[in-house]
Amino acid sequence: MKGSSQPAEAKTKTQSMSHRLGMFRMPSAQMRGQGLRNQRIHTHLMEMMLNLKQTIEKNLMYLMTRHLQQDLVLEEQRHSQATSEQEALLGRLMYQLVNLLQSGAMGGLGLQPSCPSLDVRCDVRGGQWAQSSRQPDWPVHQLSDLEATFVSQHLSSRGMDISALYHSSFQDYNIYQRDKYHEDKNTMGYINLGLSENKLCLDLMTERLSQSDMNYIEDDLLQYPDWRGQPFLREEVARFLTYYCKVPDQLDPENVVVLNGCSSVFSTLAMVLCDPGEAFLIPAPSYGGFAFSACLYSKVELILVHLDSEVTDANLHPFQLTVDKMEQALLEARLTGKKVRGLILINPQNPLGDVYSRDSLQEYLEFAKKYHLHVIIDEIYMLSVFDEFITFHSVLSMESLPDPNRTHVIWGTSKDFGISGFRFGVLYTHNREVASAVSSFGYLHGISGIAQHKLCRLLQDREWIDKVYLPTYRSRLQIAHGYMTKKLEALGIPFLNRGSGLYIWMNLKMYLDPCTFEEELLLHRRFLDNKLILSRGRTYMCKEPGWFRITFADKPLLLKQAMHRFYQVLSEQKQDLIMKQLENAQRE
């Protein structure tokens, strides 16, 4: 169950454990303040690390082999208990390690900054810990907070797990929220090009949302709603998707469910299509939010279909998705007794930017039908195709879907309209039973009535969307994309040029030596230390280290500032690499 086909840092206790141990590192502020290197402590730490890693691997192997032989459900419980105990033990060991580091630091001893496998900030209840670790005057008593996380008197086991996962996954995000770059007010703040946020048309959107039709209030908007979404909004969504997805027949508002964000739609689909421990196939690299959402409530596993960057006879373009690869991953998963219920597709793809051809789509859907797999297809970037030679095909546009009752489309306004703050996500499915089951969760995932009204008015205004918004948006996407790709070309950085989405998938492996996920993380940290947030390939469950996703859908001035920081970090990194290679050469 815990094989290689697992998403990074977003799945299970055992994983997050090995993760924790793979990223242990001192806060950079302190490291820089201390020049001394103590080889003895370093070696001692490395030994402890290796021992811990071996313990985990042994236990993982034991659990995995036992797992295959026995009843899945019962085993999962023993597994969970065993990993809990392991986690408590490891937590204490880590606490001791931190203490050791701390005492070393207090005693005037330092560790070399590039010490591999040392960074705790990405895990272990990152939130408070990470924050404090960024302060130069990091107080000792923070350590007791760290220890406390492993022996919480107040939280349930799942509460501790979820909290730890959230704070590790959203650590950069939360830092950014508290210290955002602003061109006038906070020029030293964090620039976040790790988040897929469209800030290209905030001017247009603010103007449109300020018009008088938006500020309508009626009693129904203030009262308990239809939990599927207000009928007027579902009707408008059906009309909107019919038009922009080029659907042969008018879509039915009864098949629409509206929730507070696409992640809520995905999470509820996972609840009603899978039982705990069952799985979805997902091509990787892929949006990590699905993995996070799957952990919060549904406890659905993601089985990765690993794609390769290398071009071969079987892989005509980098990271090509083929039915063969999906079939292989499916059959391997089945061999381990895993129940695979569906396939997750993103079109246009995130982070690759691929827009699937009609033929490819057809093949993927036929494959899913053959194996009775649900297809959850996320088309959230459908209006964000800016290369005029590329045509987006929605599955809703297909004359006859191979398996309409198992095809479920997700869309929202966060990306295409750049209003992620509205918290708006749509499910369209021909399967009334699924729509009905998902709507049960509307009670806990509802949207404000006034926001529903505004969204309805926005989607209704075709004139504005077609004549004002979309032409401007796409032209700005082109310009920003052009700026960013030129910069990358100038640096000789390879990247995918796919003409859709808000981001570019680029390869920075030339800056990593050795090319490992540890080094990828260290480079990521280096960006962070320079107040630039990117997202690294590992969080997209990419199997090859060195890939990063960089968002370009922002204002020119901000992009310029960001690329300045970007360039600075890569220069530093290159200097370090040269130094390292020289040292190695001297040693030989």
Residues 362-401 that bind its own copies (CB under 8 A): 374
Q: Which two tokens stand for residue 555?
A: 């204002």
Q: Is 222 in the site for its own copies (CB under 8 A)?
A: yes
Three-state SS sequence of 117-179: CCECCCCCCHHHHHHHHCCCCCCCCHHHHHHHHHCCCCCCHHHHHHHHHHHHHCHHHHHHHHC
CB of 422 to its own copies, least distance (A): 5
CB of 219 to its own copies, least distance (A): 5
Compare residues 287 and 319 and give the one whose CB is closer to its own copies: 287
Q: Which two tokens stand for residue 532?
A: 């630039």
**Region 312-351 residues binding its own copies, contact defined as CB under 8 A:** 341
Separation in Å, CA 61 to CA 4, 181, 336, 338: 12, 46, 14, 17
CB of 367 to its own copies, least distance (A): 18
**Region 273-292 residues binding its own copies, contact defined as CB under 8 A:** 273-276, 278, 292
CB of 320 to its own copies, least distance (A): 30
CB of 240 to its own copies, least distance (A): 18
Q: Is 85 in the site for its own copies (CB under 8 A)?
A: no
CB of 8 to its own copies, least distance (A): 18
Compare residues 111 and 200 and give the one whose CB is closer to its own copies: 200
Compare residues 389 and 443 and give the one whose CB is closer to its own copies: 443
CB of 522 to its own copies, least distance (A): 26
Q: Do residues 258 and 452 make contact, with C-beta atoms less than 8 angstroms apart? A: yes
CB of 298 to its own copies, least distance (A): 9
Intra-chain end-to-end CA distance of the chain, in Å: 43
Compare residues 296 and 468 and give the one whose CB is closer to its own copies: 296
Q: Is 229 in the site for its own copies (CB under 8 A)?
A: no
- Tokens 């209840």 label which residue? 125
**Region 167-186 residues binding its own copies, contact defined as CB under 8 A:** 167, 170, 173-174, 177
What's the CA gap between 239 and 231, in Å, rounded? 12
Question: Could you give the string, one character per residue 438-477, with x where binding to its own copies holds by CB under 8 A and - elsewhere?
Answer: -xxx-xxxxxxxxx--x-----------------------
554: nearest Cα among 202, 199, 265: 199
Q: Is 128 in the site for its own copies (CB under 8 A)?
A: yes
The crossing angle, in degrees rounded to 10, of helices 157-169 and 13-22 is 40
What's the CA gap between 21 and 127, in Å, rounded? 18
Q: Of 27-35, 150-158, 456-464, 558-566, which part binds its own copies (CB under 8 A)? A: 150-158
Compare residues 101 and 270 and give the one whose CB is closer to its own copies: 270
Q: Do residues 117 and 45 make contact, with C-beta atoms less than 8 angstroms apart? A: no
Q: Which contiguous run of DSSP H or E holds residue 535?
A: strand 535-536
Of the candidate residues 91, 104, 113, 127, the single one contacting its own copies (CB under 8 A): 127
CB of 341 to its own copies, least distance (A): 7
Of the candidate residues 232, 243, 297, 464, the single one contacting its own copies (CB under 8 A): 297
The CA-based diameter of the chain, rounded to the nearest angstrom, is: 79
Q: Which two tokens stand for residue 530?
A: 């320079």
What's the CA gap between 513 and 510, in Å, rounded? 8
Q: Which two tokens stand for residue 181?
A: 């770059």
Compare residues 296 and 491 and give the one whose CB is closer to its own copies: 296
Helices (H), 294-427: 323-335, 358-370
Q: Of 71-79, 354-362, 377-385, 463-471, which part binds its own copies (CB under 8 A)? A: 71-79
Compare residues 56 and 259 and give the one whose CB is closer to its own copies: 259
Compare residues 9 and 519 and give the one whose CB is closer to its own copies: 9
Helices (H), 300-448: 323-335, 358-370, 432-439
Residue 258 pairs with which residues in a beta bridge? 426
Of the candidate residues 420, 507, 535, 539, the single one contacting its own copies (CB under 8 A): 420
Q: Is 263 in the site for its own copies (CB under 8 A)?
A: yes
Q: Of 9-17, 112-120, 263-271, 352-360, which part binds its own copies (CB under 8 A)? A: 263-271
Q: Is 141 in the site for its own copies (CB under 8 A)?
A: no
Of the candidate residues 34, 436, 516, 530, the single one contacting its own copies (CB under 8 A): 436
φ, ψ at 550 (rounded to 5°) = -125, 125
549: nearest Cα among 540, 558, 541, 557: 540
Separation in Å, CA 525 to CA 10, 92, 165: 19, 25, 19
Q: Of 7-15, 57-65, 93-101, 423-431, which part binds its own copies (CB under 8 A)? A: 423-431
Amino acid identity for residue 440 in this structure: S
Q: Is 249 in the site for its own copies (CB under 8 A)?
A: no
- Residues ≥6 apart with Cβ < 8 Å to 560: none
Q: Is 117 in the site for its own copies (CB under 8 A)?
A: no
Q: Is 433 in the site for its own copies (CB under 8 A)?
A: yes
- Residues ≥6 apart with Cβ < 8 Å to 17: 56, 83, 86, 87, 90
Of the candidate residues 82, 148, 515, 577, the single one contacting its own copies (CB under 8 A): 148
Q: How many binding residues for its own copies (CB under 8 A)?
A: 91
175: nearest Cα among 165, 184, 167, 183: 167
Q: Is 583 in the site for its own copies (CB under 8 A)?
A: no
Q: Is 209 in the site for its own copies (CB under 8 A)?
A: yes
**Region 2-21 residues binding its own copies, contact defined as CB under 8 A:** none
> Residue 333 CB: number of other CB atoms within 10 A?
21
Q: Which two tokens stand for residue 211?
A: 């018009």
CB of 492 to its own copies, least distance (A): 32
CB of 185 to its own copies, least distance (A): 12
